[in-house]
Amino acid sequence: MSWFPFYQGISCAAFAGAKAAARVSPGWAAGFDERSGQGSYLTAKPVDLWLHGASVGEVGGLVSVVKRLRHELPEARFHVSTTSLTGRAEAKKLEPNNSPTLLPFDALGAVSPVLKRLRPKLLAIAETEIWPALYKSCARQGVKVLIFNGRISDLSYPRYRLLTPFLKEVFADVDSILVQSKLDRDRYAVLGADLSRIHVAGSTKYDKTDIPAKDKTCAFAAEIGIDLDAPCLVAGSVRPGEDAQLLEAYLRLRLDYPALQLVMAPRHPEKFEAAAQLLSEYNLEFNRRSAGTVRHRTPIVLLDSMGELTIAYSLATIAYVGGTLVPIGGHNPLEPAAYGIPVIVGPHTENVRDAVSQLAAASAHLEVSDAESLYAEVKKLLENPQLVAEIGSASRQVWEENVGATDAVVAEIARVIGASESCDAPELKRGIR
Protein backbone atom coordinates (compact mmCIF):
# COMPACT_ATOMS: atom_id res chain seq x y z
CA MET A 1 0.00 0.00 0.00
CA SER A 2 1.29 3.44 -0.91
CA TRP A 3 1.17 6.13 1.77
CA PHE A 4 1.71 8.94 -0.72
CA PRO A 5 -1.99 9.53 -1.61
CA PHE A 6 -2.73 10.19 2.08
CA TYR A 7 0.16 12.65 2.28
CA GLN A 8 -0.91 14.35 -0.94
CA GLY A 9 -4.42 14.82 0.40
CA ILE A 10 -3.10 16.43 3.57
CA SER A 11 -0.61 18.65 1.72
CA CYS A 12 -3.25 19.84 -0.77
CA ALA A 13 -5.57 20.79 2.10
CA ALA A 14 -2.72 22.62 3.85
CA PHE A 15 -1.83 24.38 0.59
CA ALA A 16 -5.42 25.59 0.22
CA GLY A 17 -5.36 26.87 3.81
CA ALA A 18 -2.09 28.68 3.18
CA LYS A 19 -3.58 30.36 0.10
CA ALA A 20 -6.49 31.63 2.18
CA ALA A 21 -4.12 32.89 4.88
CA ALA A 22 -1.97 34.68 2.29
CA ARG A 23 -4.96 36.76 1.23
CA VAL A 24 -5.41 38.28 4.68
CA SER A 25 -2.01 38.05 6.40
CA PRO A 26 1.10 39.99 5.28
CA GLY A 27 3.26 37.38 6.96
CA TRP A 28 1.79 34.59 4.87
CA ALA A 29 1.70 36.73 1.74
CA ALA A 30 5.45 37.45 1.73
CA GLY A 31 6.91 35.35 -1.06
CA PHE A 32 3.76 33.30 -1.46
CA ASP A 33 3.80 33.62 -5.24
CA GLU A 34 7.03 31.65 -5.33
CA ARG A 35 5.86 29.21 -2.66
CA SER A 36 2.88 28.45 -4.88
CA GLY A 37 5.14 27.76 -7.86
CA GLN A 38 4.42 31.11 -9.52
CA GLY A 39 6.28 34.42 -9.35
CA SER A 40 9.80 34.31 -10.76
CA TYR A 41 9.39 30.60 -11.51
CA LEU A 42 7.16 31.60 -14.43
CA THR A 43 10.16 33.09 -16.24
CA ALA A 44 12.73 30.54 -15.04
CA LYS A 45 15.02 29.03 -17.65
CA PRO A 46 16.12 25.37 -17.79
CA VAL A 47 19.10 24.43 -15.62
CA ASP A 48 21.40 21.46 -15.11
CA LEU A 49 21.25 21.54 -11.31
CA TRP A 50 18.80 22.71 -8.66
CA LEU A 51 20.46 23.39 -5.28
CA HIS A 52 18.38 23.88 -2.13
CA GLY A 53 19.25 25.01 1.39
CA ALA A 54 16.44 25.63 3.87
CA SER A 55 17.76 28.69 5.71
CA VAL A 56 20.95 30.59 6.52
CA GLY A 57 22.73 27.62 8.09
CA GLU A 58 21.96 25.26 5.23
CA VAL A 59 22.85 27.90 2.65
CA GLY A 60 26.21 28.07 4.41
CA GLY A 61 26.67 24.45 3.37
CA LEU A 62 26.23 25.49 -0.27
CA VAL A 63 29.06 28.04 -0.26
CA SER A 64 31.95 25.67 -0.94
CA VAL A 65 29.84 23.59 -3.33
CA VAL A 66 28.94 26.59 -5.50
CA LYS A 67 32.55 27.79 -5.57
CA ARG A 68 33.80 24.38 -6.67
CA LEU A 69 31.07 24.00 -9.26
CA ARG A 70 31.98 27.33 -10.78
CA HIS A 71 35.59 26.14 -11.04
CA GLU A 72 35.05 22.51 -12.06
CA LEU A 73 31.89 22.90 -14.15
CA PRO A 74 31.96 26.49 -15.43
CA GLU A 75 29.35 25.80 -18.11
CA ALA A 76 26.83 24.21 -15.75
CA ARG A 77 23.59 26.13 -15.25
CA PHE A 78 22.08 25.97 -11.79
CA HIS A 79 19.30 27.39 -9.68
CA VAL A 80 19.27 27.96 -5.90
CA SER A 81 16.20 27.87 -3.65
CA THR A 82 15.62 28.28 0.08
CA THR A 83 12.74 27.80 2.48
CA SER A 84 13.11 31.03 4.48
CA LEU A 85 13.28 34.67 3.44
CA THR A 86 16.53 35.13 5.37
CA GLY A 87 17.95 32.10 3.59
CA ARG A 88 17.01 33.61 0.25
CA ALA A 89 18.82 36.84 1.15
CA GLU A 90 21.92 34.85 2.08
CA ALA A 91 21.71 32.78 -1.11
CA LYS A 92 21.72 35.97 -3.15
CA LYS A 93 25.31 36.51 -2.01
CA LEU A 94 26.32 33.20 -3.58
CA GLU A 95 25.27 34.22 -7.06
CA PRO A 96 24.70 37.98 -7.32
CA ASN A 97 23.65 37.66 -10.96
CA ASN A 98 21.08 34.94 -10.25
CA SER A 99 17.79 35.18 -8.38
CA PRO A 100 17.30 32.53 -5.68
CA THR A 101 13.70 31.58 -5.03
CA LEU A 102 11.61 30.20 -2.21
CA LEU A 103 10.91 26.48 -2.41
CA PRO A 104 7.39 25.73 -3.65
CA PHE A 105 4.87 24.28 -1.22
CA ASP A 106 5.20 20.49 -1.09
CA ALA A 107 2.17 19.63 -3.18
CA LEU A 108 2.23 18.15 -6.67
CA GLY A 109 0.28 21.09 -8.06
CA ALA A 110 3.02 23.48 -6.93
CA VAL A 111 6.23 21.52 -7.52
CA SER A 112 5.47 19.66 -10.77
CA PRO A 113 5.08 22.80 -12.96
CA VAL A 114 8.31 24.22 -11.51
CA LEU A 115 10.24 21.06 -12.36
CA LYS A 116 8.85 21.17 -15.90
CA ARG A 117 10.17 24.73 -16.30
CA LEU A 118 13.56 24.22 -14.67
CA ARG A 119 14.10 20.72 -16.13
CA PRO A 120 17.14 19.98 -13.93
CA LYS A 121 19.10 16.77 -14.23
CA LEU A 122 19.64 16.78 -10.47
CA LEU A 123 18.03 18.22 -7.34
CA ALA A 124 20.67 18.52 -4.60
CA ILE A 125 19.36 19.31 -1.11
CA ALA A 126 21.48 20.28 1.90
CA GLU A 127 20.82 18.44 5.17
CA THR A 128 17.69 16.49 6.06
CA GLU A 129 14.89 17.99 4.03
CA ILE A 130 12.03 15.54 3.52
CA TRP A 131 9.73 16.72 0.73
CA PRO A 132 7.67 13.73 -0.45
CA ALA A 133 5.78 15.51 -3.24
CA LEU A 134 8.92 17.16 -4.60
CA TYR A 135 10.83 13.87 -4.60
CA LYS A 136 7.89 12.04 -6.19
CA SER A 137 7.69 14.66 -8.92
CA CYS A 138 11.42 14.32 -9.53
CA ALA A 139 11.10 10.55 -9.88
CA ARG A 140 8.22 10.90 -12.33
CA GLN A 141 10.08 13.44 -14.45
CA GLY A 142 13.42 11.62 -14.43
CA VAL A 143 15.19 14.10 -12.14
CA LYS A 144 17.79 12.55 -9.83
CA VAL A 145 17.72 13.52 -6.13
CA LEU A 146 20.80 13.94 -3.92
CA ILE A 147 20.73 14.71 -0.19
CA PHE A 148 24.09 15.92 1.17
CA ASN A 149 25.20 16.93 4.67
CA GLY A 150 22.49 14.46 5.72
CA ARG A 151 21.81 14.27 9.43
CA ILE A 152 19.14 12.75 11.67
CA SER A 153 19.13 14.49 15.06
CA ASP A 154 18.46 12.84 18.41
CA LEU A 155 15.25 14.86 18.66
CA SER A 156 13.95 13.89 15.22
CA TYR A 157 14.96 10.24 15.18
CA PRO A 158 12.30 8.83 17.57
CA ARG A 159 9.56 10.73 15.72
CA TYR A 160 10.84 9.63 12.33
CA ARG A 161 10.88 5.99 13.42
CA LEU A 162 7.13 6.17 13.90
CA LEU A 163 6.90 7.08 10.21
CA THR A 164 9.28 4.42 8.90
CA PRO A 165 6.81 2.79 6.43
CA PHE A 166 6.10 6.19 4.88
CA LEU A 167 9.74 7.33 4.93
CA LYS A 168 10.86 4.13 3.23
CA GLU A 169 8.60 5.06 0.33
CA VAL A 170 9.92 8.65 0.32
CA PHE A 171 13.58 7.59 0.36
CA ALA A 172 12.94 5.24 -2.56
CA ASP A 173 12.73 8.41 -4.68
CA VAL A 174 16.14 9.62 -3.44
CA ASP A 175 19.07 8.42 -5.55
CA SER A 176 22.00 9.22 -3.26
CA ILE A 177 22.43 10.31 0.37
CA LEU A 178 25.75 11.72 1.61
CA VAL A 179 25.63 11.85 5.41
CA GLN A 180 27.75 13.53 8.06
CA SER A 181 28.59 10.51 10.22
CA LYS A 182 28.30 6.74 10.54
CA LEU A 183 25.52 7.22 13.09
CA ASP A 184 23.54 9.23 10.52
CA ARG A 185 24.12 6.48 7.96
CA ASP A 186 22.74 3.86 10.33
CA ARG A 187 19.72 6.00 11.18
CA TYR A 188 18.85 6.62 7.53
CA ALA A 189 19.06 2.88 6.91
CA VAL A 190 16.75 2.09 9.83
CA LEU A 191 14.27 4.65 8.48
CA GLY A 192 14.13 2.81 5.17
CA ALA A 193 16.79 4.31 2.93
CA ASP A 194 18.71 1.84 0.77
CA LEU A 195 22.07 1.30 2.51
CA SER A 196 23.85 1.03 -0.85
CA ARG A 197 22.82 4.62 -1.61
CA ILE A 198 24.15 6.06 1.67
CA HIS A 199 27.76 7.23 2.04
CA VAL A 200 29.55 9.02 4.88
CA ALA A 201 31.09 12.20 3.47
CA GLY A 202 31.07 14.73 6.34
CA SER A 203 29.66 18.25 6.06
CA THR A 204 30.42 20.87 3.45
CA LYS A 205 29.88 23.50 6.15
CA TYR A 206 33.36 22.64 7.39
CA ASP A 207 34.80 23.51 3.98
CA LYS A 208 33.26 26.97 3.71
CA THR A 209 35.66 28.79 6.02
CA ASP A 210 37.96 31.01 3.97
CA ILE A 211 40.64 32.34 6.27
CA PRO A 212 40.60 36.10 5.57
CA ALA A 213 43.78 37.96 4.76
CA LYS A 214 45.26 39.97 7.61
CA ASP A 215 44.33 43.28 6.00
CA LYS A 216 40.71 42.17 5.70
CA THR A 217 40.64 41.11 9.35
CA CYS A 218 42.14 44.42 10.42
CA ALA A 219 39.66 46.38 8.33
CA PHE A 220 36.71 44.49 9.79
CA ALA A 221 38.01 44.97 13.33
CA ALA A 222 38.27 48.71 12.72
CA GLU A 223 34.76 48.84 11.27
CA ILE A 224 33.14 47.26 14.32
CA GLY A 225 35.48 48.79 16.91
CA ILE A 226 37.49 45.79 18.07
CA ASP A 227 41.04 46.28 19.39
CA LEU A 228 43.15 43.41 18.03
CA ASP A 229 45.70 43.95 20.80
CA ALA A 230 43.13 43.16 23.51
CA PRO A 231 41.46 39.81 24.27
CA CYS A 232 38.15 39.15 22.57
CA LEU A 233 35.43 36.60 23.25
CA VAL A 234 33.26 35.94 20.19
CA ALA A 235 29.94 34.24 20.90
CA GLY A 236 28.34 32.97 17.70
CA SER A 237 24.83 31.73 16.90
CA VAL A 238 23.59 32.76 20.35
CA ARG A 239 20.05 31.70 21.23
CA PRO A 240 17.56 33.26 23.67
CA GLY A 241 18.15 31.95 27.16
CA GLU A 242 21.89 31.60 26.81
CA ASP A 243 22.48 35.26 25.99
CA ALA A 244 21.77 36.24 29.60
CA GLN A 245 24.14 33.53 30.87
CA LEU A 246 26.79 34.80 28.49
CA LEU A 247 26.42 38.36 29.77
CA GLU A 248 26.49 37.24 33.41
CA ALA A 249 29.81 35.48 32.78
CA TYR A 250 31.18 38.41 30.79
CA LEU A 251 30.38 40.96 33.49
CA ARG A 252 32.32 38.93 36.04
CA LEU A 253 35.22 38.47 33.64
CA ARG A 254 35.40 42.23 33.05
CA LEU A 255 36.14 42.72 36.75
CA ASP A 256 39.32 40.68 36.32
CA TYR A 257 40.07 41.67 32.71
CA PRO A 258 38.77 45.19 32.00
CA ALA A 259 40.10 45.08 28.44
CA LEU A 260 38.11 41.96 27.52
CA GLN A 261 35.86 42.57 24.52
CA LEU A 262 32.71 40.68 23.56
CA VAL A 263 31.22 40.15 20.11
CA MET A 264 27.76 38.61 20.43
CA ALA A 265 26.03 37.28 17.31
CA PRO A 266 22.39 36.15 17.72
CA ARG A 267 21.48 33.20 15.52
CA HIS A 268 18.37 34.69 13.91
CA PRO A 269 17.68 38.22 12.60
CA GLU A 270 14.30 38.34 14.32
CA LYS A 271 16.14 38.15 17.66
CA PHE A 272 18.45 41.12 17.01
CA GLU A 273 16.17 43.63 18.72
CA ALA A 274 15.62 41.37 21.73
CA ALA A 275 19.39 41.01 22.12
CA ALA A 276 19.84 44.78 21.96
CA GLN A 277 17.12 45.19 24.57
CA LEU A 278 18.83 42.67 26.84
CA LEU A 279 22.15 44.51 26.60
CA SER A 280 20.37 47.75 27.47
CA GLU A 281 18.70 46.11 30.46
CA TYR A 282 22.16 45.22 31.74
CA ASN A 283 23.16 48.89 31.29
CA LEU A 284 25.97 47.84 28.97
CA GLU A 285 27.50 50.13 26.39
CA PHE A 286 27.61 48.48 22.99
CA ASN A 287 27.82 49.14 19.29
CA ARG A 288 25.48 47.59 16.75
CA ARG A 289 27.02 46.32 13.54
CA SER A 290 23.88 47.37 11.67
CA ALA A 291 24.72 51.00 12.48
CA GLY A 292 27.76 50.85 10.18
CA THR A 293 31.35 51.83 10.96
CA VAL A 294 31.66 52.79 14.62
CA ARG A 295 32.50 56.31 15.72
CA HIS A 296 33.74 55.34 19.15
CA ARG A 297 34.89 52.01 20.51
CA THR A 298 32.82 50.09 23.06
CA PRO A 299 33.69 46.84 24.87
CA ILE A 300 30.71 45.01 23.35
CA VAL A 301 29.64 44.63 19.73
CA LEU A 302 26.24 43.24 18.82
CA LEU A 303 26.74 41.52 15.48
CA ASP A 304 23.22 42.14 14.19
CA SER A 305 24.13 41.35 10.60
CA MET A 306 24.08 38.33 8.32
CA GLY A 307 27.04 36.52 6.81
CA GLU A 308 29.75 38.05 9.01
CA LEU A 309 30.13 35.49 11.78
CA THR A 310 32.97 33.70 10.01
CA ILE A 311 35.16 36.79 9.80
CA ALA A 312 34.12 37.77 13.34
CA TYR A 313 35.60 34.50 14.59
CA SER A 314 38.92 35.61 13.07
CA LEU A 315 39.03 38.37 15.71
CA ALA A 316 38.55 35.98 18.62
CA THR A 317 40.93 34.96 21.35
CA ILE A 318 38.28 32.48 22.49
CA ALA A 319 35.03 31.42 20.83
CA TYR A 320 31.75 30.28 22.32
CA VAL A 321 29.42 28.38 19.97
CA GLY A 322 25.75 28.97 20.70
CA GLY A 323 22.71 26.75 20.78
CA THR A 324 24.56 24.63 23.34
CA LEU A 325 23.67 26.10 26.74
CA VAL A 326 20.01 25.69 25.84
CA PRO A 327 18.45 22.50 24.41
CA ILE A 328 18.81 23.44 20.74
CA GLY A 329 21.49 20.94 19.76
CA GLY A 330 24.34 23.25 18.85
CA HIS A 331 25.86 24.87 15.79
CA ASN A 332 29.08 24.37 13.85
CA PRO A 333 32.04 24.25 16.29
CA LEU A 334 34.59 23.78 13.52
CA GLU A 335 33.89 27.22 12.06
CA PRO A 336 35.85 28.97 14.84
CA ALA A 337 38.25 26.00 15.13
CA ALA A 338 39.53 26.86 11.65
CA TYR A 339 41.20 29.93 13.20
CA GLY A 340 43.17 27.92 15.74
CA ILE A 341 41.38 29.23 18.83
CA PRO A 342 39.85 27.46 21.84
CA VAL A 343 36.21 26.54 21.30
CA ILE A 344 33.73 26.50 24.19
CA VAL A 345 30.36 24.74 24.00
CA GLY A 346 27.56 23.90 26.39
CA PRO A 347 26.17 20.41 27.06
CA HIS A 348 23.57 20.42 24.24
CA THR A 349 25.55 19.38 21.17
CA GLU A 350 23.36 16.64 19.70
CA ASN A 351 23.24 18.24 16.25
CA VAL A 352 27.03 18.44 15.99
CA ARG A 353 27.91 15.35 18.00
CA ASP A 354 30.53 14.01 15.61
CA ALA A 355 32.48 17.28 15.42
CA VAL A 356 32.32 17.81 19.19
CA SER A 357 33.44 14.22 19.83
CA GLN A 358 36.48 14.79 17.64
CA LEU A 359 37.30 18.04 19.42
CA ALA A 360 36.94 16.31 22.78
CA ALA A 361 39.18 13.41 21.74
CA ALA A 362 41.86 15.91 20.72
CA SER A 363 41.48 17.99 23.92
CA ALA A 364 40.56 20.81 21.57
CA HIS A 365 37.50 22.26 23.26
CA LEU A 366 36.01 23.12 26.64
CA GLU A 367 32.51 22.26 27.80
CA VAL A 368 30.51 24.40 30.22
CA SER A 369 27.09 24.01 31.78
CA ASP A 370 26.09 27.50 32.94
CA ALA A 371 27.27 31.07 33.47
CA GLU A 372 29.45 30.06 36.42
CA SER A 373 31.40 27.41 34.51
CA LEU A 374 31.63 29.65 31.44
CA TYR A 375 33.21 32.33 33.61
CA ALA A 376 35.64 29.83 35.12
CA GLU A 377 36.76 28.32 31.80
CA VAL A 378 37.27 31.66 30.05
CA LYS A 379 39.15 32.98 33.09
CA LYS A 380 41.40 29.92 33.05
CA LEU A 381 42.23 30.53 29.41
CA LEU A 382 42.87 34.25 29.84
CA GLU A 383 45.26 33.46 32.68
CA ASN A 384 47.24 31.00 30.56
CA PRO A 385 48.17 32.11 27.02
CA GLN A 386 50.13 28.89 26.54
CA LEU A 387 46.96 26.87 27.15
CA VAL A 388 45.12 29.04 24.63
CA ALA A 389 47.80 28.27 22.05
CA GLU A 390 47.78 24.52 22.76
CA ILE A 391 44.00 24.13 22.61
CA GLY A 392 43.81 26.40 19.59
CA SER A 393 46.39 24.36 17.71
CA ALA A 394 44.49 21.16 18.47
CA SER A 395 41.19 22.66 17.32
CA ARG A 396 42.77 23.78 14.05
CA GLN A 397 44.07 20.25 13.49
CA VAL A 398 40.57 18.79 13.95
CA TRP A 399 39.19 21.26 11.42
CA GLU A 400 41.88 20.32 8.89
CA GLU A 401 41.00 16.65 9.30
CA ASN A 402 37.34 17.34 8.50
CA VAL A 403 37.57 19.36 5.32
CA GLY A 404 36.83 17.57 2.06
CA ALA A 405 33.10 16.83 2.01
CA THR A 406 32.75 19.23 -0.91
CA ASP A 407 34.88 16.87 -2.98
CA ALA A 408 32.33 14.08 -2.56
CA VAL A 409 29.34 16.31 -3.25
CA VAL A 410 30.79 17.86 -6.40
CA ALA A 411 31.90 14.43 -7.66
CA GLU A 412 28.36 13.11 -7.26
CA ILE A 413 26.87 16.17 -8.93
CA ALA A 414 29.32 15.88 -11.83
CA ARG A 415 28.54 12.19 -12.24
CA VAL A 416 24.80 12.72 -12.39
CA ILE A 417 24.71 15.71 -14.72
CA GLY A 418 27.07 13.96 -17.11
CA ALA A 419 30.15 16.11 -16.70
CA SER A 420 32.42 13.71 -14.79
CA GLU A 421 34.94 13.57 -17.60
CA SER A 422 35.68 17.29 -17.14
CA CYS A 423 36.64 16.83 -13.49
CA ASP A 424 39.59 15.39 -11.62
CA ALA A 425 37.68 12.36 -10.39
CA PRO A 426 40.29 10.90 -7.97
CA GLU A 427 40.57 14.20 -6.13
CA LEU A 428 36.85 14.84 -6.10
CA LYS A 429 35.97 11.43 -4.71
CA ARG A 430 38.36 11.39 -1.79
CA GLY A 431 35.69 12.83 0.52
CA ILE A 432 33.46 9.71 0.47
CA ARG A 433 34.19 7.12 3.10
Where does the pLDDT of residue 421 fall: very low under 50, low under 70, confident under 90, or very high at 90 and above?
very low
Where does the pLDDT of residue 27 fall: very low under 50, low under 70, confident under 90, or very high at 90 and above?
low
Mean per-residue pLDDT over the chain, rounded: 91
- Cβ neighbors of 221 (< 8 A, separation 6 or more) are 227, 228, 315
Q: Which amino acid is at 159?
A: R
Which has more pLDDT, 22 or 320? Answer: 320
Within a 10 A sphere around the Cβ of 288, how many other Cβ atoms?
Answer: 19
Please tell me the CATH superfamily of domain 214-402, with its number: Glycogen Phosphorylase B; (3.40.50.2000)
Where do the H-state alpha helices sit in 96-163? 108-118, 132-140, 156-162
Per DSSP, 61 falls in state: T
pLDDT in tens, 393-414: 999 999 999 989 999 999 999 8
Where does the pLDDT of residue 430 fall: very low under 50, low under 70, confident under 90, or very high at 90 and above?
very low
Where does the pLDDT of residue 214 fall: very low under 50, low under 70, confident under 90, or very high at 90 and above?
confident
Between CA 196 and CA 280 the distance in angstroms is 55
Task: Sketch the domain layout of the chain as residue ranges.
Answer: 4-202+404-431, 214-402
Range 219-235 burial, b when 16+ CB lie within 10 A, else e: ebbeebbbeeeebbbbb
pLDDT in tens, 263-288: 999 999 999 999 999 999 999 999 99
Count CA atoms within 13 Å of residue 316 on its CB side: 32
Angle value at C-alpha 381, between 377 and 384, nearest 5 degrees = 140
Top-level CATH class of 4-202+404-431? alpha beta
Q: What is the pTM of this model?
A: 0.81
Range of weakest confidence among 74-78, 220-224, 330-334? 74-78
In the chain, pLDDT over 90 holds for what percent of residues? 74
Between CA 357 and CA 33 the distance in angstroms is 43
Query: Above 60 in pLDDT, residue 64?
Result: yes
Which residues are paired to 148 by β-bridges?
126
In the chain, pLDDT over 70 holds for what percent of residues? 95
Q: Identify the pLDDT of residue 419.
A: 54
Q: Identify the pLDDT of residue 29.
A: 75
- Cβ neighbors of 270 (< 8 A, separation 6 or more) are none
pLDDT in tens, 81-90: 999 988 998 8
Between CA 423 and CA 355 the distance in angstroms is 29
Could you give phi then psi for residue 419, rounded to 5 degrees? -120, 20
Using CB atoms within 10 Å of the CB of residue 186, give its burial: 0 to 12 exposed, 13 to 18 middle, 19+ buried: middle
Mean pLDDT of 232-240: 98
Query: Above 90 in pLDDT, residue 294?
Result: no
Q: Identify the pLDDT of residue 95.
A: 74
Are both 4-202+404-431 and 214-402 of the same fold? yes
